[in-house]
Chain A
Amino acid sequence: MELYEKILVEDEFLETDHGQIPCVDCHGGNPDDNNWETAHKGIIKDPTFPDASKTCGECHEDIVKLGKSSLHVSLLPYRVIMGNRATPGASVKEALDTAMENHCMGCHSSCGQCHVSRPHSVDGGFVQGHNFMKTPPMATNCTSCHGSRLEMEFTGKNPGIPGDVHFVKENMRCVSCHKADEMHGDGKEYQSMHDAANGPKCVDCHQDAGKATSKKEVHSLHYETVSCTVCHSLQYKHCYGCHVGKDSKGLPYYQTEKTCMAFKIGLNPTVTKERPYKFITVRHVPTNPGIFDYYVKGGLENFNRIPTWKPTTPHNIQLKTPQNKSCTKCHKKKELFLTEEDVGAEEREANRPVMVPESEIPTKTKKR
């Protein structure tokens, strides 16, 4: 996208309610200055981040108040994870904070980066000439950030693997399941996206599948022990090792290692009432103990406190999958489960809570 396209305001916008607000009220700058360079001094590119209370909040007070707790804004899980892995000490914390600011925290969103422009992490730019969009478009906004894994899975861009049935057959979009309440936050500071109370659940639509009295025997047998994706998703992407630093020009960079497609069932490390399953799908995330070595050597002394294989919801749901063709396509199929053989020696301790011991791989099939 060319720079001029990113900042070209459509005449139509000026006719809208938001278009009646003087630019300077939100963006600052000096509209009386004829010199564009000095006129833009102090300009606020995204007046909705980090605090939207003086802009959107003037009218949408309730949403903005809750929005501070949105994981899209706070990125709290990243901070929690790094806090857990960090070597204790103020100097290490300072170095890790700098590293995260340079490499991780730029991937946040805001009111404006969903409803007006593309996210800054993909260089921004108006989506519809500064028009405010009630629903952020999937292609320009959601998948700008959630592209490498979720978009490719959902839309079927991974070679040989079909897209999610909800997209391919039903033309559903991200917002069909991820409603505004979830995106905007509910005021609670969740440490993991899986904890969020208003996240989507398959049983919201497929109610019969989530109970002991389900018409389908396979559901009544598994609904509490196996997450939906274990039976209904296909292979998905795993990313490995990420190294970050600054180049000779002082620009931050990242380098990730190989990615691969695989399907892996692991143990659920945090069994809750909402997620009671023993088995879930797990995905390797791009991290390693030396990820922030550029900033501080040995800064993640407690790296092994948190698995590098994380609970995941692959977005390539199918009714029929190789593992749900019959009982024996999953039971006794060691290759589907995350075992020691799949985890490098240096990561085994970290992943103990999610690795499936051979003794735990289901062997028996019970029929009612």
Chain B
Amino acid sequence: MVWPKQKGFWYLWVLLLVFLGFFLLWIDANTVQTQEESSCVSCHTNSRELIKLSQIIRKMRPPVKSEEIKGEG
């Protein structure tokens, strides 16, 4: 009577380990994804993302060239 309970206890441990394995894999995948998202390359090769950011930047930035410029430079 005791043995089956012990056997069931070990099954639980195995299940827990399998679960932990999947959980760690999931975390790892997410971490990699986050790094890619935050890296310079993932943003600077993404025209959609850059267009969105450009619009925000345009609103934030003051004009850089004077309107009083006249004639050929």
A binds B: yes
Q: Which residues of A contact B (CB under 8 A)?
A: 2-4, 7-11, 14, 23-24, 27, 29, 31-34, 36, 39, 148, 239, 242, 245-247, 249, 251-257, 259, 286
The reply to whether B66 and A31 contact each other, CB–CB distance below 8 Å, is: no
The reply to whether A4 and B51 contact each other, CB–CB distance below 8 Å, is: yes
Q: CA of A245 to CA of B68 in the docked complex: distance in angstroms? A: 9
The reply to whether A249 and B69 contact each other, CB–CB distance below 8 Å, is: no
Residues of B within 8 A of A33 (CB): 38
Q: Which residues of B contact A (CB under 8 A)?
A: 34-35, 37-41, 43-45, 47, 50-51, 53-54, 57-58, 62-73
A95 CB to closest chain B CB (Å) equals 20
Given the known interface contacts A8-B47, A9-B45, A31-B40, the answer about A2 and B69 at a Cβ–Cβ threshold of 8 Å is no
Q: CA of A154 to CA of B38 in the docked complex: distance in angstroms? A: 46
Q: Which of A7, A39, A251, A252 contacts B50 (CB 8 A)?
A: A7
The reply to whether A9 and B44 contact each other, CB–CB distance below 8 Å, is: yes
The reply to whether A239 and B65 contact each other, CB–CB distance below 8 Å, is: no
Residues of A within 8 A of B72 (CB): 148, 239, 256, 259, 286
Residues of A within 8 A of B38 (CB): 31-34, 39
Residues of B within 8 A of A252 (CB): 66
Question: Could you jot down 24 A-B contacts, CB within 8 Å?
Answer: A3-B54, A4-B53, A4-B54, A9-B44, A9-B45, A10-B45, A29-B40, A34-B37, A36-B43, A39-B38, A148-B73, A239-B71, A246-B66, A247-B66, A249-B66, A251-B68, A252-B66, A254-B69, A254-B71, A256-B70, A256-B71, A257-B71, A259-B71, A259-B72
Number of residue pairs A-B, CB distance < 8 angstroms: 83
The reply to whether A9 and B41 contact each other, CB–CB distance below 8 Å, is: yes
Which residue of A has the minimal Cβ distance to B70?
A255
Q: CA of A29 to CA of B36 in the docked complex: distance in angstroms? A: 16
With most chain A CB atoms within 10 A of its CB, the pick from B34, B64, B70, B72 is B72
Residues of B within 8 A of A148 (CB): 72-73
Residues of B within 8 A of A23 (CB): 40-41, 44
Residues of A within 8 A of B51 (CB): 2, 4
A77 CB to closest chain B CB (Å) equals 17
Q: CA of A11 to CA of B63 in the docked complex: distance in angstroms? A: 31
Residues of A within 8 A of B37 (CB): 34
Given the known interface contacts A24-B40, A32-B38, the answer about A253 and B66 at a Cβ–Cβ threshold of 8 Å is yes
Q: CA of A32 to CA of B54 in the docked complex: distance in angstroms? A: 21
Residues of B within 8 A of A255 (CB): 68-71
Which residue of A has the minimal Cβ distance to B39?
A31
Residues of A within 8 A of B63 (CB): 249, 251
Given the known interface contacts A31-B40, A32-B38, the answer about A251 and B64 at a Cβ–Cβ threshold of 8 Å is yes
Given contacts A3-B57, A9-B41, A252-B66, 16 further A-B contacts (CB under 8 A): A2-B51, A2-B54, A3-B50, A4-B50, A4-B54, A7-B50, A8-B44, A8-B45, A24-B40, A34-B37, A39-B38, A148-B72, A239-B72, A253-B68, A255-B68, A286-B71
Q: Which of A4, A14, A239, A257 contacts B41 (CB 8 A)?
A: A14
A319 CB to closest chain B CB (Å) equals 29
Residues of B within 8 A of A9 (CB): 41, 44-45
B56 CB to closest chain A CB (Å) equals 9
Q: CA of A256 to CA of B40 in the docked complex: distance in angstroms? A: 41
Q: CA of A24 to CA of B39 in the docked complex: distance in angstroms? A: 10
Q: CA of A29 to CA of B62 in the docked complex: distance in angstroms? A: 22
Q: Which of A11, A34, A254 contacts B73 (CB 8 A)?
A: A254
A291 CB to closest chain B CB (Å) equals 13
A212 CB to closest chain B CB (Å) equals 41
Q: CA of A257 to CA of B71 in the docked complex: distance in angstroms? A: 7
